Amino acid sequence: MLNDVRILASGEREAVELSATILTQAGAQIASSKSVTMDDFAHDVVIVSSDTCTAAQKSVIARLKASGDTIVCDITAMGQQRAGENTAYADAEIQAMSGLMDTTGFSHGGPVRIGVPFTEISAALYASAAIAAALRVRRIGGLNQNIDVSLFGCAVGALTTFLPAALAGDPVGRIGNRHPSCAPWNAYKTRDGWIVVCTSTEDQWRKIKGAASEPDLEDARFSTLSERVRHVEELDALLEKWTSTMTTAESSSLCERLGIPAGPIVSVEGLAHEPNFALRHENAAARMRAGAIDSETYRHVSLFRESPLSDGARAAASARDDLNLDAGPLAGVKVIEIGQYTTAPLVGKHLAALGADVVKVEAPEGELSRTWSPGQRGTSYFFALNNTDKRTVSLDLKKEDDRAYLRTLLADADVLVENLRPGALVKLGFDRHALSHINPRLTYCSISGFGVRTAYPARPAFDTVIQAMSGLMDLTRSDGEPVKIGASAADILGGQAALLAIVARLAAPSSDEGKFIEIAMQDVAAWSALFAAGNRRSARATESEVARLQTLIKDVAFRDDALSTAIDPNGHAWPVLKLPYRFSRTAASVRRVPGAPERPMLPGTAQLSSI
């Protein structure tokens, strides 16, 4: 990927160290220094955090940026979000200021500080992806530029689950381990611990109701999803009455047999014995079993895995190396996205913002989240926030004509990214060998909860399950009780890791060999938890009050910092999120909200209309 790229990391922020670690996994050569000098243009990239520097160091960084001799990535608390603001706010302060802390915790308790430095980790992942994009520009166009990344922008960007209600003027409250629209969905006590159980369909509800054999669950209060959500307190009490009769292992195995997303709340130390983590990260698990978690443990966990797309790959034309500075660092790149909700859509959204042509494939009825409330003109704010700047097409992949059209889309694509359940594309005839036959130079990125090589081939997963099984929930507690990060942290971190891996592949010299990139959300979440557990820093005392999101959304300064306006095909305006990173020389922006998915004329000869 980034082999032979020379990077200097110098700065007090955790995001600087984490960026260096991430880019090392992508093949870069990393050097660390306590300070930077004007001689550091010998490096391809310099990563700094200017808001934590002395005045003398700030001056050197400013001169290095102005020189144009190297790529300079500056990770700060506020970036360019707030003009003139150069306070070196810590992660906890950003959590409090942005509304992120307000969304974590139980409805009956106060806001809870996230147990990992989420904004530093998020900034490191976005910075790494932005650096890879800048390296692509440098390779193709010979142009160096500066990158600014803000922790504040990363925090607000993680609030897509809660912003819709705030934008609509509805109450925004903490929901603990529940889901605002689905039930049962919570953490339940067992005989020896906790289990997270998540249901999203009526079929899953019927299965868990049948397994529990609790007569009261047949009550009319639980007959429909809306009624279950309305009576969730009574429902959860009945479910916990059942789960408390079993051990965590027994209830997890039962739910896996039923096809219900579920899993235990695993401690960070317990990751060493967690079957999937131990299978995928044998060295890290062995180190943990041999001794305590230390500052180096997280480095032994891989964020992504890359391999040839197919063992029998054929020769192919070289990848396109087009670059239009006005169109973005990824101008000329074509991406096919098959995903829903958060993870793959987040990847596609950022690839599109970076200039790629992203075609989103939706089911005939459209992605389910389009219809969520609140929204406007038949489309949810949630969908709009997560799918900006994409073209959308409706395909029924159970039909051969539609699969044939997908093959035409893939034939000249650079990237395929999806977050379907492992094996779903294979059943449709799109295994790695078939994809290699369609397009030998394709980069195919698969995102799933537990990965392709997994101890749980039949276990479905949602964000809450992954937070439970990665140590994130263990580190985030309210009065001693484990609670999920309010934002969909595992989904977001998994998407960010996929974004980095894809852009790093695109930054590499053109290749005629296709690649398969595997992302397991549990890997990325566990990497984050292990970093936090092994690198505990004393928390700086803070006097910033925890801001309420529903108050922030009415604040003009906050809206100017965090939001911008995008237009849909009918000319209607939508509030959308600003990017947490900015380039000094190439465009990267959020411009448009997609309309309804287009149904192409089949067989696949029709062209999709441009945005």
Q: How far apart are CA 10 and CA 20, in angstroms?
A: 10
Sheet (strand 194-198) strand order: 185-189, 194-198, 262-264
- Which helix (H) or strand (E) segment is 275 a member of? helix 275-280
Length of the chain: 611
Q: How far apart are CA 530 and CA 18, in angstroms?
A: 12
Q: Per the residue annotation, which of 40, 148, 414, 491 is the catalytic one?
A: 491
CA dist list (Å): 549 to 101, 111, 166, 319, 379? 9, 12, 7, 44, 22
Neighbours of 54 (CB within 10 A): 9
How many Cα atoms sit within 13 Å of 473 on the Cβ side? 28
**Taking the mean position of all CA atoms in its chain, how far away is CA 1?**
21
Q: How far apart are CA 136 and CA 329, in angstroms?
A: 7
Q: How far apart are CA 393 and CA 569, in angstroms?
A: 14
- CA angle 550/556/560 to nearest 5° reads 105
Strands 262-264 and 194-198: antiparallel
Contact 316, 512 (CB under 8 A): yes
Catalytic residue flag (residue 491): yes
User: Which are the contacts of 186, defined by CB distance < 8 A and separation ≥ 6?
Assistant: 176, 177, 178, 196, 197, 232, 236, 239
Torsion angle in degrees (nearest 10) through CA of 505, 507, 509, 511: 30
Q: How far apart are CA 81 and CA 294, in angstroms?
A: 35
3-state class of 519 per DSSP?
strand
Residue numbers annotated as active site: 491
